[in-house]
């Protein structure tokens, strides 16, 4: 049962969007562990985690097997180890919940509504932090189409996940009291549940930010659609450059902002100086600017070195000052993906990295806080690929004068799976949280324009070489989340923590 409850949660996320199943999944987990012995609760939590992460992240297998080029049995083992590792966090949650039985008795308000949401947030924090974290599929993302979406601009993704788990606790408490005489606590729980669901209706009517119609940006998002199996081969490089250059030249125009995808140039920046200068001159001649994804290899004092500084970079060409390496109008990816971009505990785990043989897997992290990218007078808070799911990282780089959110990615690693759809859904959440339009340019899809309400305005089909042209105005003003950050989220957690220790009056 726990495995099934965990697995069905995947259908609450993109591309399925059946949001009530997230409630069913977590209600099922809580119901099964609320009165169990510690050992059995741990097994149930672990089984739930296996179902949840197997269904939700099985697509990682594509990058391991097809592009990591390892034998099928080894790929299955690596995927199994990843899922097993992730399942330890729901197991830890189950254990902690039962350890606290002495002051939060089974099926009580304290256990289900106060303690469980705090412990779930704690274990999710650990999942997103240890080994740089893997914060994929936080429960709150499933609620972008539910009444709870109104909470995103107020409390952010962590707050929405917290509110969802509180609701699940209230549901179980009410269900558990069905066969008992009604008590004031039961009536209060029902009232609280209804209030949590009804309140966002009024929030959704509030425009936290305002569209500045006096300004508009003309975007061309280049979806080169270069196959992952070919991208990093030397034979493909010239074809890739020609594809992007041709599509760009067709769309150069006055005041045009052209966005390429992550690492669209599969070579070191220092090796492509003549090509970049050519692009820079072409863009300036047409009064356009181009954001180009590339790998920045910083040469040492004696040229190429054994342990170089390599950055996953998005740089801007066509500005007022001619391009000269290294120009300052650039963003360097801060949050790197383990094994894909760096090897954690390299002395211990390097054999795994060598086995996967993933290109550009020895990178350095850029600064956590970086200046906004600027193009045609507009300011962009930028994230590369995985970073767009990290709300706190966006928050640290977001400023009141940010015009747009910008993310570039290469989801070709995951083929025609649900992974890129989930990734797009998380980008939608960022737009809703900050009340800013999100510009998303990718290699094989899903390239999209997302408005300040988190709704997709326009998108390109996957696996097609196309250009998305769209004229868009920025927004001004701040959502409560953009203004106060996680203050409301921590306030709710603090109140829950205090209520756990409030003694019942006799």
Whose CA is closest to 33, among 139, 112, 87? Answer: 112
333 as an active site residue: the answer is yes
Which residues have CB under 8 Å from 124's CB, separation 6+? 89, 135, 138, 161
Return d(Cα 497, Cα 458) in angstroms, integer.
43
262 as an active site residue: the answer is yes
Return d(Cα 221, Cα 240) in angstroms, integer.
16
Strands 256-259 vs 217-223: parallel, antiparallel or unpaired: parallel
- What one-character-per-residue DSSP string does 397-452 give? H--TT--EEEEEE-GGGGTTSSHHHHHHHHHHHHHHHHT--EEEEESSS--EEE-T
Catalytically annotated residue among 333, 341, 421, 433: 333
168 as an active site residue: the answer is no
Cis preceding linkage at 401, omega within 30 = no
Helix (H, G, I), strand (E, B) or coil at 295: strand
Q: Which two tokens stand for residue 136?
A: 């994929």
Catalytically annotated residue among 385, 387, 421, 433: 385
Q: Using CA atoms of 380, 383, 388, 392 in order, give the dihedral in degrees to the nearest 10.
A: -80
Catalytically annotated residue among 124, 138, 168, 262: 262
Q: Hey, how many other C-beta atoms are within 10 angstroms of the C-beta on 267?
A: 17
- Could you tell me if 257 and 218 are in contact, meaning their C-beta atoms sit under 8 angstroms apart? yes
Return d(Cα 61, Cα 75) in angstroms, integer.
7
- Could you give the residue numbers annotated as active site? 262, 333, 385
């Amino acid at each position: 049962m726990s495995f099934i409850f965990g697995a069905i949660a995947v259908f609450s996320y993109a591309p399925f969007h059946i949001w009530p199943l997230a409630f069913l999944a977590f209600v099922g987990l809580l119901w099964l562990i609320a009165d169990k012995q510690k050992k059995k609760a741990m097994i149930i939590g672990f089984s739930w985690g296996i179902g949840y992460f197997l269904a939700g992240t099985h697509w990682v297998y594509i990058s391991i097997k097809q592009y990591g080029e390892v034998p099928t049995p080894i790929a299955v083992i690596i995927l199994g180890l990843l899922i097993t590792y992730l399942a330890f966090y729901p197991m830890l949650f189950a254990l902690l919940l039962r350890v606290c039985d002495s002051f939060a008795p089974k099926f009580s308000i304290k256990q289900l509504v106060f303690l469980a949401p705090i412990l779930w947030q704690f274990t999710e924090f650990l999942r997103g932090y240890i080994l740089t974290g893997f914060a994929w599929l936080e429960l709150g993302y499933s609620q972008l189409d539910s009444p709870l979406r109104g909470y995103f601009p107020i409390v952010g993704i962590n707050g929405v996940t917290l509110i969802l788990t509180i609701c699940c606790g209230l549901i179980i408490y009410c269900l558990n009291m069905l066969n008992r005489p009604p008590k004031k606590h039961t009536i209060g729980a029902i009232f609280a549940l209804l209030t949590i669901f009804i309140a966002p209706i009024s929030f959704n009517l509030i425009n936290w930010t305002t569209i500045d119609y006096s300004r508009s940006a003309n975007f061309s998002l280049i979806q080169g659609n270069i196959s992952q199996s070919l991208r990093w081969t030397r034979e493909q490089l010239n074809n890739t450059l020609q594809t992007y250059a041709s599509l760009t030249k067709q769309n150069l125009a006055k005041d045009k902002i052209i966005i390429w995808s992550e690492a669209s140039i599969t070579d070191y920046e220092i090796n492509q100086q003549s090509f970049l200068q050519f692009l820079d001159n072409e863009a300036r001649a047409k009064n356009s600017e181009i954001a180009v994804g590339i790998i920045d290899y910083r040469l040492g004092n004696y040229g190429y070195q054994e342990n170089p500084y390599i950055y996953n970079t998005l740089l801007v060409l066509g500005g007022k000052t001619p391009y000269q390496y290294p120009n300052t109008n650039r963003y360097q990816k801060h949050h790197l993906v383990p094994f894909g971009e760096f090897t954690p505990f390299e002395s211990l785990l390097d054999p795994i990295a060598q086995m996967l043989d993933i290109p550009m897997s020895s990178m350095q992290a850029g600064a956590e806080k970086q200046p906004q990218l600027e193009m045609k007078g507009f300011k962009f808070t930028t994230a590369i690929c995985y970073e767009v799911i990290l709300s706190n990282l966006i928050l640290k780089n977001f400023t009141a004068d940010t015009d747009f959110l910008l993310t570039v990615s290469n989801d070709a690693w995951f083929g025609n799976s649900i992974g890129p759809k989930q990734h797009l859904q998380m980008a939608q959440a960022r737009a809703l949280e900050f009340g800013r339009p999100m510009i998303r340019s990718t290699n094989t899809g899903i390239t999209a324009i997302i408005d300040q309400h988190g709704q997709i305005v326009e998108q390109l089909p996957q696996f097609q070489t196309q250009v998305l042209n769209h004229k868009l105005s920025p927004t001004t003003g701040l959502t409560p989340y953009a203004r106060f950050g996680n203050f409301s989220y921590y306030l709710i957690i603090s109140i829950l923590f205090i209520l756990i220790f409030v003694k019942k009056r006799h």
